[in-house]
Structure 1
Amino acid sequence: MRTSTSRISRVLALALGGALSLGLLTATATATAATDDLDAPYARAAAKVAANATVEHSKNVTSVTRGGSSGRKGIYCVKVPTTAVSNLGAAAILATLSDYRGEITAIGKAHAYCGNDAHTITVVTSDDAGKDADRPFTVAVL
């Protein structure tokens, strides 16, 4: 059986394209997994969050966004996947401010500030006088 040069070229091109695609997929998966870099071996989910809602370090947290449509300061929505915590409302949730005095509240049930999503922790922060304020914080689900 004779094999034409063009057929061999097509097979090589397909093999090369497949290898390159696999490399790109692997690089993408690694980049995504690299965001889960928080050293919290006993927490099911956790995040260190900057005052502007940027995730500095996390473990099993899908996203952190600003909450509420009113433009109020100090409202954050921490999305936790069901694969990490199946019933967030029954979980032990701890939250603390980072490097600031003030108040913090972590709500593990569906709340209007975060679209009534049962898989989102609503975090509310304020200054030491009780006024709405953007503050960095750490939150963990045990």
Structure 2
Amino acid sequence: MDLEPIIAYRTYSDRWLLELIFKRYKSDECLDLTNNQGDFSVIGAEFVNFISTVITARIVKKIEDAELLKDESYADVMDDLASAWRKTSAPLTLPDTKDEYWVHTNNSVFEILEKLGLSKPIPKPESKKTGRPAKKSC
């Protein structure tokens, strides 16, 4: 086909995303084996596999939109997110980055959570003017 270079590049980018999803589907999530005998069991297993693939694609898109894939791979981001633990006694509202319900979560994970909108960042203090105040003339 005679395509514009930008269209070919975007098409290749989308194709690569599909390859990553299928790799995750088959190898990382071990969803290529059903170990089922009945038709309904196979259909049910494939339905669950399809739903998990759709969810994975949405997660990849969200991470890509937050521009987290520029510095790390999808697997690295997911590993970092897996280390973010909250106590079960935590309220069900959107968590603050520095509340007392986080367990052993480091600052780089908080940055990822904030970029994805999964945690409210700490408000930054207003910047103060540097230097001495101007002298008043008499």
Query: What TM-score, normalized by structure 1, do the two folds share?
Result: 0.30
| Larger strand proportion of the pair | 1
More helix as a share of residues:
2
Q: Which structure's relative contact order is higher, taking Cα pairs within 8 Å and 6+ residues apart?
A: 1
TM-score normalized by structure 2? 0.31
Which of structures 1 and 2 has the bigger CA Rg?
Answer: 2
